[in-house]
Structure 1
């Protein structure tokens, strides 16, 4: 009996592995090389030069290694580059700070990189600010209209207990200024208390990287990190709002704007512009955002609505088929056969 069970398990595992490999084969190669893109080539970035609306502070982690491990970490480049350009295009000067100052460690995933991200890497002024980030203890809150905490797993180690960050957050809160964060960036809010001793985020709507997302990528995350971010935010009394895994979800609670994951970054930054009292400059959404919208339609309304949305696309190049295939692979790994097949159907139709 045991032998039969082991053989059956081996067959099932082999079939699952073959299926995942097959889905990987559906992921098309990067069709365009954006590595030499410059800011001057992107029309959206030519906006914002006609007005001066003040300054926004972006804060990144200084942590290079995850805890006691040898695994490197840092801030997510896409979660800095995209808000940097949203704020710039909307008339704000962006300064960059970090707990230690100087050049912070960056995480660059080429599979997630688009033209704006490469433009940021090729932007001399932006890179000068990154390489010489302001030590957080030298920042004056009065100089800024908003503060934005960039994500990256390193934030879990040097944001929550940093007293200078806590002081800044309290100052922005007291003066009704905008506070934003995305993905692991809300770790900066996790331990902030007000003058009355209450947690800043108690009773506030918050989104951040969820336990579901964290544990899928790092099964032993509870041992690697000081805490799981969703758990800590809930413990502090936050009204935690989560959307579907790895899709866009942004919470707006007055002047507090938080995004769940990297795919929430564009919207979080634009909601911050709105919270500062301005209408965001028009921007053509990216193929990745278009794909996220398609997947959200599927999650919220089902396959037929997603198929209808796909059919309305004028140009299939407006869709990131690699991201769509990756979601199919994630569904397969999580043993969601119905969802996996639906995404494969959408992927197949996207190639028609």
Structure 2
């Protein structure tokens, strides 16, 4: 009897079934874990609750401009977007703790759209939402055309998919980046924020990006979550940066990675915010104020060790962390990376994540 279904159709059905099983398994695994496995109820955190700020620099060192997107919908796809709250909040407090006042701008000015991912929220992010001064600044962001560029020592471009649509062609952004880079002021950007570097020309007519070491959200990261990204975005950011002459620094998928080329500081994804913000402080000539490393950062460190040195060394790192604090890393983030590896068909690595979780629970 002839097979009723073509082989290609059977293969697609099998792949789809495997994906569904994997996703179902991950959600089941997460359901077994406490909702706040590493934290108390942080939603009421106030800025004054952040020990980091209370021990920060008291002297006034100047101002840094943070720029967020004004785009709320991804082109014709209809998908909502905006700036990523965590990418603004964490950098905002690094700058403040190190003596810098932060102003917030956007291409259109006014209240910009925001993306809040509940799974990623930590005490700094909730503190930002409860920070009256910060919220007034966000709700009344300065239009880029009205920014007095002479007031700031540095600029930081916040990520969020909306940046892909309104950063690259904004004349005020291009002018500010060119001016700051050539005058030695610090230019920082993270995730999709480096879209602000696209199409920037220096006074000699060359592209800013020519031969510069930069990082940003990678093609692999973009296409993993949005397979039709090429149809939604005007371009893939890694491709565009490379086309304009950048030496693109690719880190591990969804792990922290920061690239610095003189006064140009860029980060790959949301987990790179701390690295970018503190590197900007160093480039400004100051030693960053010490802070307690977050559980999320420790987890990213475990995952980086796993990628570069293998599972045994990752277990060693977990043991050292557990010896100091049983909640020193975020188990939920390990579960998330179980899915990330699975979505890349790296099933062996997915199994290794489960082995690390089991190891942590038994030590």
- TM-score, normalization: structure 2? 0.94
The answer for the alignment partner of 1:334 in structure 2 is 344
Distance between the aligned counterparts of 1:240 and 1:170, measured in 2? 20
Range with bigger deviation, 47-56 or 131-140: 47-56
Question: In the TM superposition, what is the alpha-carbon distance from 1:42 to its structure 2 partner?
Answer: 1.2
Tell me, what secondary structure is at the counterpart of 1:50? Answer: coil
Whether 1:171 and 2:179 are equivalent positions in the alignment is yes
Question: In the TM superposition, what is the alpha-carbon distance from 1:19 to its structure 2 partner?
Answer: 3.6
Whether 1:20 and 2:23 are equivalent positions in the alignment is yes
Tell me, what secondary structure is at the counterpart of 1:213? Answer: helix
Asked whether the equivalents of residues 168 and 197 of structure 2 are also in contact (C-alpha less than 8 Å), the reply is yes
Distance between the aligned counterparts of 2:71 and 2:10, measured in 1? 46
> Any unmatched runs of 5+ in structure 2?
none
The answer for the alignment partner of 1:233 in structure 2 is 241
The answer for the alignment partner of 1:198 in structure 2 is 206
Query: After the TM superposition, which segments of 4 or more aligned residues of structure 1 sit over 4 Å from their partners?
Result: 3-13
Tell me, what secondary structure is at the counterpart of 1:277? Answer: coil
Asked whether the equivalents of residues 81 and 116 of structure 1 are also in contact (C-alpha less than 8 Å), the reply is yes
Question: In the TM superposition, what is the alpha-carbon distance from 1:7 to its structure 2 partner?
Answer: 6.1
Asked whether the equivalents of residues 48 and 92 of structure 1 are also in contact (C-alpha less than 8 Å), the reply is no
Distance between the aligned counterparts of 2:114 and 2:244, measured in 1? 29
Whether 1:122 and 2:130 are equivalent positions in the alignment is yes
Whether 1:145 and 2:153 are equivalent positions in the alignment is yes
RMSD: 1.5
| Cα deviation 1:78-113 (Å, max 9, x = unaligned) | 000000000000000000000111110000011110
Residues 204 and 29 of structure 1, relative CA distance in 2, 3 Å threshold:
same
Q: Number of paired residues? A: 352
Whether 1:344 and 2:354 are equivalent positions in the alignment is yes
The answer for the alignment partner of 1:34 in structure 2 is 42
Residues 14 and 222 of structure 1, relative CA distance in 2, 3 Å threshold:
closer
The answer for the alignment partner of 1:319 in structure 2 is 329
Question: In the TM superposition, what is the alpha-carbon distance from 1:128 to its structure 2 partner?
Answer: 0.6
Distance between the aligned counterparts of 1:49 and 1:327, measured in 2? 36
Asked whether the equivalents of residues 66 and 155 of structure 2 are also in contact (C-alpha less than 8 Å), the reply is yes
Tell me, what secondary structure is at the counterpart of 2:216? Answer: coil
Distance between the aligned counterparts of 2:283 and 2:228, measured in 1? 37
> Any unmatched runs of 5+ in structure 1?
none
Question: In the TM superposition, what is the alpha-carbon distance from 1:50 to its structure 2 partner?
Answer: 1.6
Distance between the aligned counterparts of 1:10 and 1:261, measured in 2? 33
Distance between the aligned counterparts of 1:83 and 1:122, measured in 2? 16
Whether 1:76 and 2:84 are equivalent positions in the alignment is yes
Distance between the aligned counterparts of 2:311 and 2:247, measured in 1? 30
Tell me, what secondary structure is at the counterpart of 1:36? Answer: coil
Question: In the TM superposition, what is the alpha-carbon distance from 1:30 to its structure 2 partner?
Answer: 2.6
Tell me, what secondary structure is at the counterpart of 1:317? Answer: coil
Distance between the aligned counterparts of 2:228 and 2:206, measured in 1? 31
Whether 1:247 and 2:237 are equivalent positions in the alignment is no
Distance between the aligned counterparts of 2:332 and 2:210, measured in 1? 39
Of residues 301, 307, 317, the one that matches 1:309 is 317
Distance between the aligned counterparts of 2:304 and 2:217, measured in 1? 17
Distance between the aligned counterparts of 1:138 and 1:10, measured in 2? 54
Distance between the aligned counterparts of 2:318 and 2:23, measured in 1? 24
Distance between the aligned counterparts of 1:7 and 1:235, measured in 2? 39
- TM-score, normalization: structure 1? 0.97
Whether 1:300 and 2:305 are equivalent positions in the alignment is no
Residues 161 and 117 of structure 1, relative CA distance in 2, 3 Å threshold:
same
The answer for the alignment partner of 2:266 in structure 1 is 258
Residues 15 and 208 of structure 1, relative CA distance in 2, 3 Å threshold:
closer
Distance between the aligned counterparts of 1:337 and 1:68, measured in 2? 35
